[in-house]
């Protein structure tokens, strides 16, 4: 039986309310549900494969886990919230997700522990047949995928990995082990690893940090808000909004650094180089963590504690990739073996494999994965021609733009406007113009060359698919995306019977 909002009302045109399925109860799915409830008469069901809401902040529970975007930007624009810190920790973000769900009455809409496996478009009824892992099946008029981007772990294929006798796990599937007195290998130096290493170093006997390729790291400058600041943001009208606007303005200026020939690019490199010089004692380590590619080729990392942790006598940076694993140790690319007790894989995710856990079939039974065989693409990163009434949040080429939460809100607003168009008319579906999609994709590719050239500078990053297409990143600031989602949908999305 379909769960509905307690206050769902009939659509204004006298038809039955539009039934909307949201797949995923992370911050994207929550944003979509809130906006649909506030602006439409749709009946909404939220499917979530985990036992709770929060998405990535439910799944990732490793020591030191926190966001690297300012709290006032990494939160919804429609709700003021009393953040205790400049950068929220994982427990605080999980509590925030729970708060929003309760504040807007979304809990009755949730179906937890329910993984959606397939969507199939039914032309005769203009609906999707949604199937779950349990074997349940029901129909919805509109489906929103809010599965996220960084949710499918990347497991390395090192020889001998399956022979390791100690605890071995990916950071997104964290296992609680007492690391006191243990020798621990952390493989990777991305955003997750730089949070874990400082958190576990005080307990472990020895920590080896394996770095395949260095990344540019900036000081995060995180701190607790003072009591006076918290009172100011709580009580003064628009105080949070003004600070949020300031953060977004700075972020839009920062994007100019992705042009390898810009002054902003040189400035960002200088900031990172000064940070290295000021915080790392050993000259060899300073050289090892300094990249030889432009700032922004990899996703820039923010951390105030990682570099100082490398000064500890019980933490060793190994500036080489892992080549092989033995039952009791790790062998790096130089052939050096180090014996360890625990192996922690901070080896990232598979962001270019969009909707990897979901089989979506559109018109004529075509699978979206067949359509994406050469390249994953979507109009505004949200819709795909031939898949009517199907919307994605955090789809191809939408990562970036200061804060992903703001990007998700803009995408959710596109869905809301589409649902409202269906409610106001007697039309039954929204589909996407192939021509508009091609023009949008061509614009993306041009911008990658002219304004985001650092992303294509040849380092190892998660932006590109196996064919070399940058399929994850948005090549501009958030303001450009907000304008695009507001102005271009009238040309790219069309309703019909």
361 within some domain: yes
The two structure tokens encoding residue 373: 């065989």
For residues 62 and 183, membership in a common domain is answered with no
9 within some domain: no
pLDDT tens, per residue, the chain with 497 residues:
333 344 444 554 557 899 999 999 999 999 999 999 999 999 999 999 999 999 999 999 999 999 999 999 999 999 999 999 999 999 999 999 999 999 999 999 999 999 999 999 999 999 999 999 999 999 999 999 999 888 889 999 999 999 999 999 999 999 999 999 999 999 999 999 999 999 999 999 999 999 999 999 999 999 999 999 999 999 999 999 999 999 999 999 999 999 999 999 999 999 999 999 999 999 999 999 999 999 999 999 999 999 999 999 999 999 999 999 999 999 999 999 999 999 999 999 999 999 999 999 999 999 999 999 999 999 999 999 999 999 999 999 999 989 999 999 999 999 999 999 999 998 899 999 999 999 999 999 999 999 999 999 999 999 999 999 999 999 999 999 999 999 999 889 988 87
For residues 173 and 304, membership in a common domain is answered with yes
C-alpha span between 299 and 288 (Å, rounded): 18
For residues 133 and 210, membership in a common domain is answered with no
Closest Cα to residue 340, out of 328, 332, 327?
A: 328
For residues 489 and 368, membership in a common domain is answered with yes
Residues in CB range of 364: below 8 A, 6 or more apart: 386
246 within some domain: no
226 within some domain: yes
The two structure tokens encoding residue 433: 């113009």
pLDDT at position 3 is 38
For residues 447 and 479, membership in a common domain is answered with yes
C-alpha span between 314 and 58 (Å, rounded): 31
Q: Which of 345, 376, 392 is the last residue of a domain?
A: 345
Kindly tell me the sign of the dihedral angle through the C-alpha atoms of 343, 346, 352, 355. Answer: positive
412 within some domain: yes
250 within some domain: no
- Taking residue 149's Cβ as centre, other Cβ atoms within 10 Å add up to 22
For residues 206 and 339, membership in a common domain is answered with yes
Question: 181-208 burial, b for 16+ CB within 10 Å, e for fewer?
Answer: ebbbbbbbbbbbbbbbbbebbeebebbb
For residues 313 and 425, membership in a common domain is answered with no
Tell me which residue range forms the domain holding 24.
19-152+351-496
C-alpha span between 488 and 432 (Å, rounded): 11
For residues 221 and 167, membership in a common domain is answered with yes
For residues 313 and 368, membership in a common domain is answered with no
For residues 333 and 452, membership in a common domain is answered with no
Number of folded domains that form the chain:
2
C-alpha span between 261 and 321 (Å, rounded): 30
Pairing of strands 329-332, 337-339: antiparallel
Closest Cα to residue 251, out of 426, 477, 19?
A: 477
For residues 197 and 321, membership in a common domain is answered with yes
For residues 59 and 186, membership in a common domain is answered with no
Q: How far is CA 466 from CA 13, 139, 345, 459, 460, in A?
A: 48, 35, 22, 14, 12
491 within some domain: yes
The two structure tokens encoding residue 67: 């966001």
The 8-class DSSP code of residue 226 comes to: P
Q: Which of 320, 345, 370 is the last residue of a domain?
A: 345
Q: Which of 295, 314, 345 is the last residue of a domain?
A: 345
Domain containing residue 360: CATH number = 3.50.50.60
């Amino acid at each position: 039986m379909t769960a509905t909002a307690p206050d769902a009302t009939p659509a204004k045109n006298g038809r039955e309310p539009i039934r909307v399925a949201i797949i995923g109860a992370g911050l994207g799915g929550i944003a979509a549900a809130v906006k649909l409830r506030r602006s439409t008469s749709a009946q909404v069901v939220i499917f979530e494969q985990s036992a709770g809401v929060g998405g990535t902040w439910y799944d990732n529970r490793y020591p030191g886990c926190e966001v690297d975007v300012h709290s006032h930007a990494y939160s919804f624009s429609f709700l003021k919230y009393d953040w205790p810190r400049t950068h929220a920790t994982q427990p605080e973000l999980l509590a925030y997700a729970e708060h929003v769900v309760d504040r807007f009455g979304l809990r009755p809409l949730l179906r937890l522990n329910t993984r959606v496996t397939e969507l199939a478009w039914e032309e005769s009824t203009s609906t999707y047949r949604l199937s779950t892992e349990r074997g349940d099946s029901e129909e919805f008029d509109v489906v929103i995928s809010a599965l996220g981007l960084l949710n499918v772990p990347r497991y390395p294929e090192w020889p001998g990995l399956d022979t390791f006798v100690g605890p071995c796990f990916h950071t997104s599937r964290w296992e609680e082990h007492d690391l006191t007195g243990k020798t621990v290998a952390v493989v990777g130096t991305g955003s997750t690893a730089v949070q874990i290493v400082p958190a576990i170093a005080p307990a472990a006997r020895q920590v080896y940090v394996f770095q395949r390729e260095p990344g540019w790291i900036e000081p995060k400058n995180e701190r607790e808000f003072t009591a006076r600041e918290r009172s100011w943001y709580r009580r003064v009208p628009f105080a949070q909004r003004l600070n949020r606007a300031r953060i977004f303005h700075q972020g839009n200026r920062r994007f100019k650094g992705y042009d390898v020939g810009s002054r902003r690019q040189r400035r960002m490199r200088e900031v990172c180089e000064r940070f290295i010089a000021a915080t790392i004692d050993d000259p060899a380590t300073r050289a090892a963590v300094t990249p030889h590619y432009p700032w922004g080729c990899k996703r820039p990392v923010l951390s105030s504690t990682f570099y100082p942790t490398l000064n500890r006598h019980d933490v060793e940076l190994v500036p080489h990739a892992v080549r092989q694993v033995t039952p009791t140790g790790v062998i790096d690319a130089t052939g050096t073996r180090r014996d360890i007790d625990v192996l922690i894989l901070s080896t990232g995710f598979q962001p270019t494999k969009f909707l990897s856990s979901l089989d979506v079939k559109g018109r004529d039974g075509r699978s979206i994965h067949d359509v994406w065989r050469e390249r994953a693409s979507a109009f505004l990163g949200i819709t795909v021609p031939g898949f009517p009434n199907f919307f994605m949040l955090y789809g191809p080429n939408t990562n970036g733009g200061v804060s992903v939460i703001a990007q998700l809100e803009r995408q959710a607003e596109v869905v809301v406007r589409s649902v409202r168009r269906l409610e106001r008319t007697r039309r039954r579906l929204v589909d996407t113009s192939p021509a508009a999609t091609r023009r949008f994709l061509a614009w993306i590719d041009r911008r990658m060359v002219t304004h985001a050239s650092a992303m294509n500078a040849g380092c190892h990053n998660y932006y590109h698919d196996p064919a070399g297409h940058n399929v994850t990143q948005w090549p501009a600031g958030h303001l450009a995306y907000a304008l695009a989602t507001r102005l271009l949908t009238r040309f790219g999305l069309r309703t019909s019977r």
